[in-house]
Amino acid sequence: KENSEKKMVSVEDRTMCEATQQMLTKARRDGVKLDLDRGYEMKPCPIGAESACCKHCYMGPCRLNPRDPYKKVGVCGATIDTIMARNFGRNVAAGSASHNDHGRHILELFRGIIDGKVKDFTIEDTLKLERVAKSLGIDVEGKEVLEVAKELCDELEKTFSNVDGEMPFTKLAPEATRELWRKDGVMPRGAMLEIMEMMSRTHIGCDQDYDNLMKQITRTALADGWGGSMVATELSDIMFGTPSPTLADVNMGVLKEDHVNIIVHGHEPAMFEGMLAAVNDSFFIEEAKAKGAKGINLVGMCCSGAEMMSRHGVPHAGNFGSTEAIIVTGAVDAMVVDIQCIKQGLAEVAKCYDTHLITTNPRAKIEGATHVEFDEIDPRKCTDEILSKAIARYGTRSMPIEIPKKIQAGVHGFSHEYIEYMLGGTFRGSYSPLNDNIINGRIRGVAGVVGCTNPKVKQDSVHVALVKELIRNDVLVLQTGCSQIALAKAGLLVPEAAPLAGPGLAEVCETVGMPPVLGLGSCVDNTRILIAASAMVKAGGLGNSIADLPVAGCAPEWMSEKALAIGHYFVASGVYTVFGVGFPTIKETKFHDLMFNGLEKKGYGKWGMASDPIEIARMMIAHIDKKRKQLGIDK
Ligand code: SF4
Ligand code: MSK
């Protein structure tokens, strides 16, 4: 009753995704509350929103006044700068821990294949295995695949366990960027050490100099981008195949009323790969048919979905903002989840629509969900049980089904290798074609637009308006994660979207046959953007470090600690990075000034913040133009 529609803001104000609007309307009618409405009703604490409170010890929690931040200090004497730096550091530590945990798990799977313990997965891309091994200085000449794999595995283990030295994948960054990290003492060693040190330095009475804290924040973030995330991306490619452009359908219309519908949502690819193998088993197809279904329909959501769509063209049903809404269709027989970005609210919505919510990872259980653990050594034990449950649910469906008829085809799967091949593979003139086109001004610059959706803003709207404005100004856009799905739904990930670009970018797109917006995969795959940026520096003509490039990044609807870690590893790598929605700092403080100005003066990128998409685009383009001027390529 509390759900009565007249008290609610219109569905068109909550999301620009028409399928999600339709499901939100139905949920309200059904008396089921979704995150999109909970987000509207929640009134976030204004002190917490600007990071002016601390609960690192029980002398507090201490609250400072964001409107007069230097008037008071915490009981221990902590200033507003210390409090904000410590809070931000712990956010980055949590985000970096998430990606490193994911990467370490992928490394364990890789080791399992090498040891022969894991038999259901294999090394799919041996060429990439060799290329990655060589890039880390491993001699591959005359060696068997498993021998190279073992050496690579041992080398990448250091990403997590090193206690000194330099993290292996930092070798891929331009030398000038690495020199800056060394000179400033922020070169990441091992992820476990960096995250542990970040947590220890933010304990009460430890590091209370915001500038010194910033060094460890930077090192912890770099240990994500050039560490666990990059291990996850590169080894997943080696084990499951390196993506290349593939056509895939996106949006809720990928559900099929007359099929058993199974959604996989989360982040790690192994369980989804296991499901993909299992759904083609003729035994289960016959079982499904015996219950009256025409077949089994496996689709993805969120980042697992983005990764599987890039690699295998598996249809994608929607991003973070639509995961509760899609259950309202009544057509989801099972939603299978692993780790990260899985709302606890799914359990209640799944209960209302008689959908199986199945957790599969011991690190992420949800009260009220069914747990069926996934084990890489015996994947079928888990996947077969999931299939049996989903098929049984199809056989007893009693809910009315309403599937929004929204579906949009797009081209996904632009790995960094493919981008290099497409825009840099053949040399013409002095530099690679991408650099040539930037130097001659056809492409003004490159932008990474990535990240989540957040119910504080109208779902997808900032992503779509921002990307349209960037391409209109000849900025090539690279995308990952939930942002990529927003633009795919809006129909921009097709070569036919080229006329929406400015004349220079449109000409390049038409010549190459590519969309003006390139989808690179999931949120760990942001490392593909780091590698592509490094390749641009190495191709020549655009300066010596990533900070010299006419590039910028943005997460316009961010919400997670992982997003903060990603944002900061881009800043630390030299990229101007703008966040929308809001930012957990107070403007008139020294810590804020360090992040938004001071870091750039030291040779890094810098942070920016704005909520209006056109304003964000203006800021990014102004930065790109500034870099063009510094490079002497402005016309
Ligand atoms: Fe307050 Fe200091 Fe304790 Fe934080 S660490 S809660 S500022 S006394
Ligand atoms: S899933 S971190 S909502 S991109 Fe990677 Fe999407 Fe953001 Fe999660």
Q: What ipTM was predicted for this assembly?
A: 0.95
589 shares a domain with 458: yes
End residue of a domain, out of 240, 272, 287: 240
404 part of a folded domain:
no
Taking 80 as the threshold, does the pLDDT of residue 5 lie above it?
A: no
Give the H or E element holding residue 358.
Answer: strand 356-359
Give the Å distance between the CA of 441 and the centre of ligand 1.
52
Taking 90 as the threshold, does the pLDDT of residue 179 lie above it?
A: yes
- The residue segments making up the domain with residue 452 are 415-631
Give the Å distance between the CA of 565 and the centre of ligand 2.
12
- Using the atom order of ligand 1, give the atom closest to the CA of residue 205: 5
- Using the atom order of ligand 2, give the atom closest to the CA of residue 522: 5
Low-confidence winner among 94-98, 307-311, 540-544, 631-635 (lowest mean pLDDT)? 631-635
44 part of a folded domain:
no
- Strand duo 246-250 + 408-412: pairing: antiparallel
When pLDDT is cut at 50, 70 and 90, the band that residue 243 belongs to is: very high
Give the Å distance between the CA of 265 and the centre of ligand 2.
11
Give tens-digit pLDDT for 65-114.
Answer: 999 999 999 999 999 999 999 999 999 999 999 999 999 999 999 999 99
Is residue 95 within 6 Å of ligand 2 at its C-beta? no
Taking 60 as the threshold, does the pLDDT of residue 430 lie above it?
A: no
Give the Å distance between the CA of 560 and the centre of ligand 2.
7
Buried b (16+ CB within 10 A) or exposed e, 248-270: bbbbbbbbbeebbbbbbbbbbbb
196 shares a domain with 85: yes
Give tens-digit pLDDT for 32-78.
Answer: 999 999 998 999 999 999 999 999 999 999 999 999 999 999 999 99
583 shares a domain with 443: yes
Domains of the chain: total: 3
230 shares a domain with 256: no
Task: Give the CA distances from residue 284 to residues 288, 337, 375, in Å, rounded to whole numbers and listed in that order.
Answer: 6, 20, 20
One DSSP character per residue, 144-175 reads: -HHHHHHHHHHHHHHHHH-SSS--GGGGGS-H
Taking 90 as the threshold, does the pLDDT of residue 259 lie above it?
A: yes
Query: Which percentage of the chain shows pLDDT scores above 90?
Result: 94
**Is the bond preceding 400 in cis, omega lying within 30 degrees of 0?**
no
Order across the sheet with 334-337: list the strands: 296-301, 260-265, 334-337, 356-359, 370-371
| 450 close to 523: Cβ distance less than 8 angstroms | yes
Distance CA 151, CA 167 (A): 15
480 shares a domain with 335: no
Task: Please report the pLDDT score of residue 233 as a whole number.
Answer: 97
Q: Which residue ranges have their beta carbon within 6 Å of ligand 1?
A: 54-57, 59-62, 74-76, 78, 83, 204
Count of C-beta atoms within a 10 Å radius of residue 146: 15
Query: Which percentage of the chain shows pLDDT scores above 70?
Result: 97
590 part of a folded domain:
yes
Taking 80 as the threshold, does the pLDDT of residue 427 lie above it?
A: no
When pLDDT is cut at 50, 70 and 90, the band that residue 423 belongs to is: confident
- In this structure, what are the phi and psi dihedrals at residue 302, rounded to the nearest 5 degrees? 55, -145
494 shares a domain with 462: yes
Task: Please report the pLDDT score of residue 415 as a whole number.
Answer: 92
Percentage helix, strand, coil for the chain under 3-state DSSP, each rounded to 5: 50, 10, 35
191 shares a domain with 101: yes
489 part of a folded domain:
yes
| 133 close to 146: Cβ distance less than 8 angstroms | no
104 part of a folded domain:
yes
Count of C-beta atoms within a 10 Å radius of residue 328: 29
Give tens-digit pLDDT for 345-386.
Answer: 999 999 999 999 999 999 999 999 999 999 999 999 999 999
Distance CA 29, CA 26 (A): 5
Give the Å distance between the CA of 339 and the centre of ligand 2.
11
CATH number of the domain within which 325 lies: 3.40.50.2030
Give tens-digit pLDDT for 458-511.
Answer: 999 999 999 999 999 999 999 999 999 999 999 999 999 999 999 999 999 999
| 355 close to 393: Cβ distance less than 8 angstroms | yes
335 part of a folded domain:
yes
39 part of a folded domain:
no
Distance CA 16, CA 229 (A): 30
Ligand 2 pocket test, pick from 342, 449, 482, 520 with the greatest ligand atom count within 8 Å of Cβ, gives 482
Taking 70 as the threshold, does the pLDDT of residue 431 lie above it?
A: no
Q: In whole numbers, what is the pLDDT of the chain averaged over residues?
A: 96
Taking 50 as the threshold, does the pLDDT of residue 1 lie above it?
A: no
Give tens-digit pLDDT for 589-600.
Answer: 999 999 999 999
CATH number of the domain within which 192 lies: 1.20.1270.30
Give the Å distance between the CA of 59 and the centre of ligand 1.
6
Task: Please report the pLDDT score of residue 306 as a whole number.
Answer: 96
When pLDDT is cut at 50, 70 and 90, the band that residue 291 belongs to is: very high
**What number is the average pLDDT over the span 569-590?**
97
Taking 60 as the threshold, does the pLDDT of residue 538 lie above it?
A: yes
- Using the atom order of ligand 2, give the atom closest to the CA of residue 341: 8
